[in-house]
Amino acid sequence: MSETNEKKVILDLADLTKKYDNGDGVEHINLKVYEGEIVTLLGPSGCGKSTILRTIGGFLDITDGDILIAGESIAALPPEKRPTAMVFQSYNLWPHMTIYENLAFGLKLRKTPADQMKNMITNMLELVSMGGSEKKYPGQLSGGQQQRIAIARSLLLRPKLLLLDEPFSALDAKIRQQMREELKKIQQDLGITVVFVTHDQEEAMALSHRIVVMNKGKIDQIGTPAEIYDDPKTLHVASFIGEMNFLKKEGKTLAVRPEDITVCEGAGQGDIDATVRTIMLLGHYVVLTVQHNEDVIKCNVTRDLSERLAIGDTVSLKLGKHSLFDAA
Amino acid sequence: MFKMLNPRRFYHAVGKRKFYEFLILAVFILFFYGPMLNMVILAFANKYEAPAIIPQEFGFKWWSYIFSQKSLVTSMIQSFVVAIVTTLVSMVFCIPAAYSIARFKYPGRKLFMLSFLLTNAFPKLGIFTSIAVLFYKYRLMGTYPGVVIIHMIHSMMFMVWLPSSAFRSVHRQQEEAARDVGAGPVRTFFKVTMPMAMPGIAVATLYTFLGSMEEAQGTMLVGMGRIQTMPVAMYGIILDSTAVQIGAVFAILLIIPSVIMIFIMRKYIGPEAIAGGFKMK
Ligand SMILES: Nc1ncnc2c1ncn2[C@@H]1O[C@H](COP(=O)(O)OP(=O)(O)OP(=O)(O)O)[C@@H](O)[C@H]1O
Ligand SMILES: [Mg+2]
């Protein structure tokens, strides 16, 4: 993180609190986003990701704290005055306007000369691989294509900060992955700063420079994908990201990933003993579930080893990299 | 060729669904266009006596009779003036109301919505008489504003409910996206929300205009004979004469504005436009 410290802070959420009338919301959110970064807000449904994004975009008033962009508070500005651009999960485009008109709407408000505008739009459509679709209407495009146009429209306005609220979650898995890769490439080419919201941990891992893991309106942990994966700070983070085994140990909970467990044949050779319950072949590796007291533990083993094991055998487990948490 | 007109052959040739659709369509045409056709025939009948189906003599006699009546030409102008003013004033009042019902949650919202139903739920004549009492007090009897208010009450429910559901079908994100790219709230309303709700608004406007064109009861009562719209004049002329043809000619005259309006707004009121032309995939 030392290298990012020298970079310019684009977004600064300073003790941001947003409470809805019914008491739901987010509180004490502190987050700095640096220039050229993709930061992902990740968390289960209802944890307040959209709430944060919508306060940044100006669609929700904040209850407390401040929002700064490049050092200036924008908390009091309406959305149209903010240097941010937002892409929603769906219904971004105006169906009564052609793609060209959709893209030109914001540029016209900024009094962009017509010929320059035309160039910008043509180039931008190329960038999002939608060249030649100027005359179409949004209803004539697929969901993925519509999202590309929505992203293009945001990028055209050269926002200081691009806000994406689950932009790909309405698309099917294959297209989602493709869009993810394209977004990452565009972000690198243009060097824009992005705050991305998702509840898909895989998407967050693949896309982000840093991930903000949220739980029930609060931030649990902020870190690079590797930090979050290798060193989860809370039980919630540990359970939310990747696969994780939880063992009860002396009143505490021990969390260890399947790939960090070494399985040995016979008892007494590792940290704990267990009994084999199931053996499942998943291509080039095998997933073993074993029983230790009342805990069921998942471990990844080689095919070689799995062929020497049978259900009901006793094995011993060496627990590699793991974390300890106060009881769950 | 004639073999195909055998109902059984026809049934099997087009399939069960199509066959019933055809039957329903045929019945509909008979019921809907039958009286219309009869009316058109009557309007051009110089001479007609009751039991016959085809008039005894055709011609333009009744058309020239009606157009020779001075009061009629004035009544036409008055009708248009009242209808246009009613439509515009309705739009100014009802569209914002419709938008507020669609978008904002405030106490009494449901009641506000229901209040528009009430104007259509009670017998009109009862409402008109109680309104007349108020109108006397505020000197609105026999005035244009009085008549316009009566006409507005007539169609208010549609003018609020239809645009309101049209506004509700505009997704909030679509408005927010407009704000996001730099449009203020007013521009967002006129460039994004309104155009997207246009099918609903167009139908409601059409309904208001046509409703105003044909409103007679309330106009007679509140207009006090001083304001004679076409339907009011029609009552007078029909009561004065025994010829059914006058009614038919009048009916055709009243249809003309509807046809023109529907033609102008055809883009918005096709079943496709209403049903889903503006929906996204
Ligand atoms: N307008 C609102 N009024 C009251 N409560 C709301 C409102 N919008 C959201 N909430 C509540 O605030 C909490 C956070 O909602 P938010 O939409 O930010 O969640 P999210 O993390 O984006 O979830 P998802 O992944 O489902 O989109 C939820 O408990 C939700 O019910
Ligand atoms: Mg959300």
Q: Are strands A64-69 and B45-47 parallel, antiparallel or unpaired?
A: unpaired
d(CA A181, CA B223): 71
Q: What is the least distance, in Å, from the CA of A314 to any CA of chain B?
A: 56
Same structural domain for residues B166 and B96?
Answer: yes
Contact: B179, A78; criterion CB under 8 Å: yes
- Report whether residue A55 contacts ligand 1, using a CB cutoff of 6 Å: no
pLDDT of residue B106 exceeding 90, the answer is no
Q: Are strands A218-223 and A64-69 parallel, antiparallel or unpaired?
A: unpaired
Q: Which pLDDT does position A83 carry in this prediction?
A: 95
Q: Which pLDDT score is estimated for B278?
A: 40
- Is some CB atom of chain B closer than 8 A to the CB atom of A169? no
Token look-up 């509840």 returns A199
Tell me, using a 6 A CB cutoff, whether residue A199 lines ligand 1: yes
Note the pLDDT tens digit of each residue in A125-174: 999 999 999 999 999 999 999 999 999 999 999 999 999 999 998 888 88
Total Cβ atoms within 10 A of residue B93: 14
Note the pLDDT of residue B25.
Answer: 85
Please tell me whether residues B127 and B205 are part of one structural domain. yes
User: What values do phi and psi take at B52, rounded to 5?
Assistant: -65, 155
Query: What is the distance between the alpha carbons of residues A275 and A317, in angstroms, rounded to a whole number?
Result: 10
Residue B207: helix, strand or coil by DSSP?
helix
Tokens linked to A33: 């986003």
For residues B181 and B213, state if they share a domain.
Answer: yes
User: What's the pLDDT tens digit per position in A71-95?
Assistant: 999 999 999 999 999 999 988 999 9
Domain count, chain B: 2
Q: Whose CA is nearest to atom 18 of ligand 1?
A: A48
Residue in the structure block whose two tokens are 């902020």: A222
Cβ separation B279–A95 shorter than 8 A? yes
**Percent over 90 (pLDDT), chain A:** 77
Measured between beta carbons, the chain B residues lying within 8 angstroms of A138 are 280
Reported as a single tens digit per residue, the pLDDT across B239-270 is 776 667 777 887 788 788 778 877 887 777 66
Does residue A243 carry a pLDDT above 80? yes
> What ipTM was estimated for this complex?
0.86
H/E segment holding residue A198: strand A194-198
The answer to whether the beta carbons of residues A235 and A253 sit under 8 Å apart is: yes
**B116 and B210 share a domain?**
yes
Angle between helices B244-264 and B230-240 (to 10 degrees): 160
Give contacts of A142 with chain B, Cβ < 8 Å: 281
Q: Which residue of B has its CA nearest to A97?
A: B192
State how far the Cα of A297 lies from the Cα of A244, in Å rounded to an integer: 9
A80, A89, A117, best to mutate vs chain B, most B CBs in 10 Å: A80
* Same domain flag for B201 and B251: yes
Separation of alpha carbons B198 and B277, rounded Å? 11
Into which CATH architecture does domain A2-236 fall? 3-Layer(aba) Sandwich (3.40)
**pLDDT in the model for residue A18:** 95
Q: Ligand 2 centroid to A191 CA: how many Å?
A: 25
Mean pLDDT (chain A) is 91
Whether B114 is covered by a domain: the verdict is yes
- Tell me the C-alpha distance between B170 and B183, whole Å: 17
Q: What is the predicted pLDDT for the residue at B37?
A: 81
Please answer yes or no on whether B180 and A150 come within 8 Å at the CB atom: no
Whether residues A80 and B182 touch (CB distance < 8 A) is answered with yes
3-class DSSP assignment, residue B39: helix
Compute the C-alpha angle A89/A95/A99, nearest 5°. Answer: 90
A96 at B interface, C-beta within 8 A: yes
Indicate left, alpha or beta for A219 from its phi (over 0: left) and psi (-120 to 50: alpha).
Answer: beta
How many beta-carbon pairs under 8 angstroms link A with B? 81
My answer on whether B131 and B220 are in the same domain is: yes
Among candidates A264, A285, A268, A284, which has minimal Cα distance to A276? Answer: A264
A103 pLDDT more than 70: yes
Domain boundary among B22, B43, B62: B62
Task: Name the DSSP letter for residue A231.
Answer: S
The candidate with the shortest Cα–Cα distance to A67, out of B271, B208, A130, A58, is: A58
Pick from A11, A7, A162, A154: nearest CA to A75: A11
Question: Can you give the length of chain A in residues?
Answer: 328
Q: Which residues in chain A have Cβ-Cβ distances shorter than 8 Å to B173?
A: 88-92
- What is the tens place of the pLDDT at every residue in B168-214? 889 999 999 999 999 999 999 999 999 999 888 888 888 899 889 88
In this prediction, residue A1 has a pLDDT band, given cuts at 50, 70 and 90, of: very low
Give ∠ CA B136-B139-B144 in degrees, rounded to 5.
110
- Domain locations along chain A: 2-236, 245-326
On whether both B17 and B98 belong to a single domain, the answer is no
Q: How does residue A43 score in pLDDT terms, banded at 50, 70 and 90?
A: very high
- On whether both B168 and B183 belong to a single domain, the answer is yes
Q: Do B180 and A57 touch (CB under 8 A)?
A: yes
- Please judge whether B176 and A79 are an interchain contact, meaning their C-beta atoms are less than 8 angstroms apart: yes
Confidence of residue B12 (pLDDT cuts 50, 70, 90): confident
Superfamily of domain A245-326: Nucleic acid-binding proteins (2.40.50.140)
Residue B135 lies in a domain: yes
Query: DSSP string covering A30-92, please?
Result: EEEEETT-EEEEE-STTSSHHHHHHHHHTSS--SEEEEEETTEE-TTS-GGGSSEEEE-SS--
User: Residue A51: nearest ligand to its CA?
Assistant: 1
Q: Is A20 in the pocket of ligand 1 (CB under 6 A)?
A: yes
**Per-residue pLDDT reduced to its tens digit, A286-328:** 999 999 888 899 999 998 888 899 899 999 999 999 898 886 5
Cβ distance B177 to A94 less than 8 Å, yes or no, reads yes
Q: Is there a domain that residue B127 lies in?
A: yes
Q: Please tell me if the CB atom of residue A198 comes closer than 6 angstroms to any atom of ligand 1.
A: no
Residue A18's H or E segment, with its range, is: strand A9-19
Contact A150/B at CB under 8 A: yes
CB-nearest to A92 from B177, B196, B281 is B177
Q: Which of A11-20, A200-209, B5-14, B19-28 has the lowest mean pLDDT?
A: B5-14
Lowest mean pLDDT among A23-37, A54-68, B56-70: B56-70
Question: Model pTM?
Answer: 0.81
Domain identity same for B120 and B18: no
Cβ(B215)–Cβ(A112) under 8 Å? no
Do B102 and B181 sit in the same domain of this protein?
yes
CA A47 to CA A235: how far, in whole Å?
16
Hey, which of A26, A40, A47 would you mutate to test ligand 1's pocket, going by the most ligand atoms within 8 Å of its Cβ? A47
Instruction: Evaluate whether residue B281 is within a structural domain.
Output: no
CB contact under 8 A, A95 and B278: yes
Domain at B227, CATH number: 1.10.3720.10
What is the span of the domain harbouring residue B33?
Answer: 2-62
8 Å CB contact between A302 and A259: no
**B198 and B259 co-located in one domain:** yes
| DSSP state, residue A103 | H
pLDDT band at A15 (very low <50, low <70, confident <90, very high): very high
Residue of A nearest to B276 (CA): A139
Residues forming beta bridges with residue B239, ordered by sequence position: none
For Cα atoms A277, A281, A282, give the angle at the middle one, nearest 5 degrees.
125
Instruction: Show Cβ contacts of residue B124 under 8 Å, excluding neighbours closer than 6 positions.
Output: B154, B217, B218
Contact A279, A288 (CB under 8 A): yes
Whether residues B43 and B133 fall in one domain: no
The pLDDT value recorded for residue B1 is: 54
Q: Which residue of B has its CA nearest to A95?
A: B278
User: How is residue A2 written in tokens?
Assistant: 């030392």
